[in-house]
Amino acid sequence: MKVAMYYSNHDVRLEEMPKPGIGKGEILLKVISSGICGSDIMEWYRIKKAPLVLGHEVAGEVAEIGDGVSGFKKGDRVVVTHHVPCGECHYCRDGNETMCETLRTTKFYPGGFAEYIRVPAVNVQKGTLHLPDNVSYDEGTFVEPLGCVVRSHRKADIRKNHTVLVLGSGLSGLLHIKLAKAAGCARVIATDVSESRRQAAEKAGADLVLDAADDVPAKVKEFNSGRLADRVIVCAGVMPAFRQALDSVDRGGRLLFFAPLRPGEELPVPVEHIWKNGISIVTSYAAAKDDLEEALMLLSSGSVTVSDMITHRLPLKKAGEGFRLFADGKSLKVIIKPHQ
């Protein structure tokens, strides 16, 4: 079978690999749609593991069923997630499923930018969802990224009366905007350095869109009746965004660090200011099955729409072009179609 082998963001090659065999409890998935994620282009994180087949936002058709599989049959339309928690360890029992060691070691083989993938038994049991008829395969690739956003909003305790500030309007930022609007948040403000992404944020429903180079805290106050934001979500993994977040959160507010900084980068935190003003800082990583199920419900019900965010659909042989477009900021969402 054909795969897109990743060597770097600007070196992704069409190569041949044997079609995976499956064992007991496993399924073979024919990949119909696979999305390029922002984490796929974190070259500092990915290149040390190269060459490898990336791709974890996957929707497809069940091609083969292993012995002992129940609940799925050949031809089923499904979404498959690569990382799944065990549900039994200390972290899972404590509601921190994404800290589970099983979640951090599970994956399907070889990766979503391939014609077929082998889905291990644990992923079949804990990370495979039926795709409703009214959700396309392309839309299905958003279940995992939207699930991550769903989980983060719960951790940040985002409520209807809140003013939410989203720093960075790439794909994840737009999903945060859409989910906050779907939840009925009082005001949603977005920023970005890119004019095209600011336009996308406005289209996604943001009530106010700012250039990230502006005096964002001052403009938030002006728009928000003299107050800073109740919740600030950092979706841009750059130091200025983190510093801006610290300056933009209101008393009693909460900062959500959704994006990471590079390894070794350290953020100076004004502890006295945080303490005196009752500000909380939370992070969120990955998603668990409940989050994915909620994301799928939001897509199926039309509460969150994602088709307008897809800027490119490319065959597997053009996966390298997709990576370049995404890495160079020339796309919002690239869907790879391995069988086109």
List the domain boundaries for the chain.
Answer: 2-142+306-337, 155-283
CA distances from 23 to 28, 31, 68, 308 (A): 10, 19, 10, 39
At residue 48, the pLDDT reads 83
Is the per-residue pLDDT at 251 higher than 80?
yes
pLDDT of 171 strictly over 90: yes
Residues 6+ positions from 231 with CB-CB distance below 8 Å: 156, 157, 158, 162, 163, 164, 165, 249, 253, 254, 255, 256
The Cα–Cα gap between 109 and 117 comes to 5
Confidence of residue 49 (pLDDT cuts 50, 70, 90): confident
Q: Locate tokens 């958003």: which residue?
A: 142
- 318 CB-near residues (< 8 Å, 6+ apart): none
Mean pLDDT of 5-31: 96
| Residue 285: predicted pLDDT | 94
Class of domain 2-142+306-337 (CATH, top level): alpha beta
CB 141 within 8 A of CB 83: no
CA 60 to chain centre: 18
Q: What percent of the chain has pLDDT over 70?
A: 100
Q: Name the DSSP class of 188.
A: E
Interval 222-231 mean pLDDT: 98
**What confidence score (pLDDT) does residue 40 get?**
85
Q: Evaluate whether 2-142+306-337 and 155-283 have a shared fold.
A: no
Q: What is the model's pLDDT at position 91?
A: 97
Structure-block tokens of residue 119: 């889905």
- Report the pLDDT value the prediction gives residue 283, as an integer from 0 to 100: 97
Specify whether the CB–CB gap between 60 and 137 falls below 8 A: yes
Contacts of 71 (CB under 8 A, 6+ apart): none
Structure confidence at residue 330 as a pLDDT band (50, 70, 90): confident
- Whether the pLDDT of residue 139 is over 80: the answer is yes
Give residue 318's pLDDT band: very low, low, confident or very high (50, 70, 90): very high
pTM for this prediction: 0.96
pLDDT of residue 162: 98
> How much is the pLDDT for 44?
76
The 10s digit of each residue's pLDDT in 81-138 is: 999 999 999 999 999 999 999 999 999 999 999 999 999 999 999 999 999 999 999 9
- What distance in Å separates the CA atoms of residue 70 and residue 82, rounded to the nearest whole number? 19
Q: In sequence order, what are the beta bridge partners of 32?
A: none
**CA dist., res. 289 & res. 256, Å (int):** 21
**According to the model, what pLDDT value does residue 59 have?**
98
Which CB contacts under 8 angstroms, 24+ apart, belong to 181-186? 181/205, 181/206, 182/298, 182/303, 182/304, 183/153, 183/158, 183/159, 184/160, 185/158, 185/159, 185/160, 186/160, 186/161, 186/162
pLDDT in the model for residue 45: 75
Supply the angle between the helices 143-156 and 289-301 in degrees, to the nearest 10.
110
What pLDDT is recorded for position 205? 98
**What pLDDT is recorded for position 247?**
98
Q: Across all residues in the chain, what is the average pLDDT?
A: 96
Scan for tokens 């129940």, then name that residue. Answer: 70
User: Quick one: average pLDDT of 153-179?
Assistant: 97
Residue with tokens 């965004």: 241
- Asked if residue 234 has pLDDT above 90, the reply is yes
How large a percentage of the chain has pLDDT more than 90?
93
Q: What is the mean pLDDT of residues 257-281?
A: 96
Residue range 281-307: mean pLDDT, rounded: 97
Confidence category of residue 41, pLDDT binned at 50, 70, 90: confident
The hierarchical CATH code for the domain 155-283 is 3.40.50.720
* Pairing of the two strands 163-167 and 187-192: parallel
Tokens of 183: 């939840």
